[in-house]
Amino acid sequence: MSIFTGAAVAIVTPMNSDGSVNYEKLDNLIEFQIKNNTDAIVICGTTGEASTLSHEEHIDVIKHCVDTVNKRVPVIAGTGSNSTETAIYLSQEAEKAGADAVLLVTPYYNKATQKGLYVHFKDTADAINLPCILYNVPSRTGCNILPETAVKLATEVKNIVAIKEASGNISQIAKLAQLANGCIDIYSGNDDQIVPIMSLGGLGVISVLSNVAPQQTHDLCQACLDGDYKKAAKMQIEALPLIDSLFSEVNPIPVKKALNLMGFEAGPLRKPLTEMEDANANILKENMKEYGIY
């Protein structure tokens, strides 16, 4: 059984003015998501600024999200690291906290060979009982999970069940779908490629766009799941200007700005991320207005 189908939000981590985690505003965002039919919540991912959370904060944020969601939708905890030992530790803590699954990014900076990726993901998955989603995002990590490696992991490690594909390489994703033949669930990791990836058999998206447009992103995915690709393509194209603005600077700089514009008080970013440039922010506002969310 799949962890989810449809649109999962890669939710931001709201901050107070002093940079501490704002749990009250996180609750508000979670309730907004659930009210607007988000299909799952990914907590402490890239969009959640996990890389600048301490281990204690990371675990506390996961626990808080699990408690607030209270089984209404699946909670997927981002627990990846460039250190296998750290990935195991965070994954075990997420399991203790009651997460429904974990999201494991490829090791960054030190990277790995395909053999190293296999060992890293297998060792992490073997240390827990939760289902694991691999996260392939070479633009951020400098490390690419080849289709053959993903399929080997899915067939040899029982709880590696899915992959978030954010390589941007549709040919690679098509190759993955062909080799996998259904042995691994595929989710889009790019909001501008939801329809192409779902047309290849993907089950949905782990989305930045869902932070500000959860209902619309859910509906787009549902159109694909219903086989109405003409409707889905229209929705995908209509969302592209906003999606482009949400990635006009390093994620999550624009999406936090968008949430602040919407009144959600997501707060500042942790350094080295800085506030959005005015020119880009003005374009973001216009695209939010065009899309009907500001």
Q: Is residue 175 in some structural domain?
A: yes
At 62-118, the pLDDT tens digits run: 999 999 999 999 999 999 999 999 999 999 999 999 999 999 999 999 999 999 999
Give pTM, 2 decimals: 0.98
Output phi, psi for 162, to 5 deg: -155, 165
User: What's the number of domains the chain is made of?
Assistant: 1
Give me the active site residues, please.
Answer: 135, 164
Amino acid 261: pLDDT:
98
How far, in Å, CA of 190 to CA of 196, rounded?
10
Domain that holds residue 42: 6-227
How far from chain centre, in Å, is Cα 130? 17
Q: Is residue 249 in some structural domain?
A: no
Q: How many helices (H) and strands (E) does the chain have?
A: 12, 8
Q: Is residue 113 in some structural domain?
A: yes
Q: What is the CATH classification number for the domain harbouring 96?
A: 3.20.20.70
Closest C-alpha to 267, from 284, 279, 253: 253
The single-letter code of the amino acid at 199 is S
At 138-175, the pLDDT tens digits run: 999 999 999 999 999 999 999 999 999 999 999 999 99
Cis status, amide bond into 252, omega within 30 of 0? yes
How far from chain centre, in Å, is Cα 226? 23
pLDDT grade for 286, boundaries at 50, 70 and 90: very high
How far, in Å, CA of 208 to CA of 190, rounded?
8
Q: Is residue 259 in some structural domain?
A: no
Q: Is residue 242 in some structural domain?
A: no
Q: Is residue 271 in some structural domain?
A: no
Burial 185-215 (b: 16+ CB within 10 A, else e): bbbbbbbbbbbbbbbbbbbbbbbbbbbbbbe
Q: Is residue 269 in some structural domain?
A: no
Q: Where are the alpha helices (DSSP H) in 247-271?
A: 253-261
Q: Is residue 265 in some structural domain?
A: no
Q: Which two tokens stand for residue 283?
A: 């374009």
